[in-house]
Amino acid sequence: MSTPPNRSGHAPPVASGPESTSSTGTRVLGAAALVGLALSVVYGLFVSPPDAQLGETIRMIYTHVPTVSVAYVAFVVTAVSSAMYLWKRTEFWDLLGASSAEIGVVFFVLTILNGALWGKTTWGVFWRWEPRLTTSAVLLLMYIGYLAVRAVPADTRVRATRCAIVGLVAVVNIPIVHKAVDWWRGLHQGRTVLGTIDPEMGGNQLVAMYLSLATGLVVFVWMLLHRFRVAYLVERAADAGLEEALAERRAERGTPSVEVAP
């Protein structure tokens, strides 16, 4: 962050902070993510064979499973952060929870788009009231609500508390939504991929699956680190803006200003 021109001649009220959101750690993670993505493409699209039942559409699962897994991991991180915020009341947990929720929503949207496209190729329709699709739609709306609360301008502490409460309430609801939707659609069998067919995976199919899953998680950590650092810098910029505004008002009124600690 560069130092803004200082009209009133006071010490620059800008907190010294990092110039970018990357670090050695994120660069290594980013490189690993790129390699993982390249390998996933090779394995998912070329090396692994089509499925006996699903045919070529099994390849969509190699993106579907990572995105949905990342979304759920993100929502769990948000829930843990929310609980930790209510306990510790530190900015760290607030920003971590919010950053994670945002990424979770992005991945959930990708999951639903992917599922709808899979539905179009397999069932001929974009949407069926299939248990997993239905559950995803409800959960997505819940977390969009979280982001809506986040977007309401408020004092940092007030906003953090509101978000922590929504984050906790939403995660408690996840198993209930699952249960209700499963019973509603009469689904009693165990876990299946995309709810209808459970492909027998073997060899390179499993490699493609776990490779893309691992890559998805690396991408998540990489995005989370960057998003968290952006959120942190936004807070510091807001602080600096406030300090500057205060200094300007003091200068206008001719009262002696309080120097901001360097």
CB 168 within 8 A of CB 83: yes
129 counts as binding another protein under rule CB under 8 A = no
Assign 77 to helix, strand or coil: helix
By beta-carbon proximity to another protein, the closer residue of 14 and 105 is: 105
Q: Quick one: which of 50, 184, 197, 198 contacts another protein (CB under 8 A)?
A: 184
The interface with another protein within residues 189-218 (CB under 8 A) comprises none
By beta-carbon proximity to another protein, the closer residue of 62 and 107 is: 107
Per-residue contact flags (x/-) with another protein for residues 81 to 100, judged by CB under 8 A: -----x--------------
Per-residue contact flags (x/-) with another protein for residues 134 to 173, judged by CB under 8 A: ----xx-xx-xx--xx--x-x--xx-xxx-xxx-xxx-xx
Question: Cα(209)–Cα(201) distance, rounded to whole angstroms?
Answer: 9
The interface with another protein within residues 11-70 (CB under 8 A) comprises none
Q: Quick one: which of 58, 133, 181, 224 contacts another protein (CB under 8 A)?
A: 181
By beta-carbon proximity to another protein, the closer residue of 11 and 144 is: 144
By beta-carbon proximity to another protein, the closer residue of 118 and 146 is: 146
By beta-carbon proximity to another protein, the closer residue of 161 and 257 is: 161
Whose structure tokens read 């639903």?
A: 112
Supply 77's token pair.
């991180």
Question: Cα(162)–Cα(176) distance, rounded to whole angstroms?
Answer: 22
Q: Which amino acid is at 152?
A: V
Supply 10's token pair.
């006071």
By beta-carbon proximity to another protein, the closer residue of 120 and 157 is: 157
Write 195-203 long-range contacts (CB < 8 A, 24+).
Answer: 195/130, 195/131, 195/132, 195/133, 196/122, 196/130, 197/53, 197/54, 199/51, 199/52, 199/53, 199/54, 199/58, 199/61, 200/52, 201/51, 203/48, 203/49
Residue 172 DSSP symbol? H
Q: How many residues at the interface with another protein, by CB under 8 A?
A: 31
CB of 166 to another protein, least distance (A): 7
Residue 186 DSSP symbol? T
Q: Quick one: which of 32, 180, 214, 237 contacts another protein (CB under 8 A)?
A: 180
By beta-carbon proximity to another protein, the closer residue of 110 and 169 is: 169
- Phi, psi of 193, deg, nearest 5: -85, 125
By beta-carbon proximity to another protein, the closer residue of 46 and 184 is: 184
Integer CA distances (angstroms), 241 to 17, 18, 228, 246, in order: 14, 17, 20, 9
Q: What residues line the site for another protein (CB under 8 A)?
A: 86, 138-139, 141-142, 144-145, 148-149, 152, 154, 157-158, 160-162, 164-166, 168-170, 172-173, 176-177, 179-181, 183-184
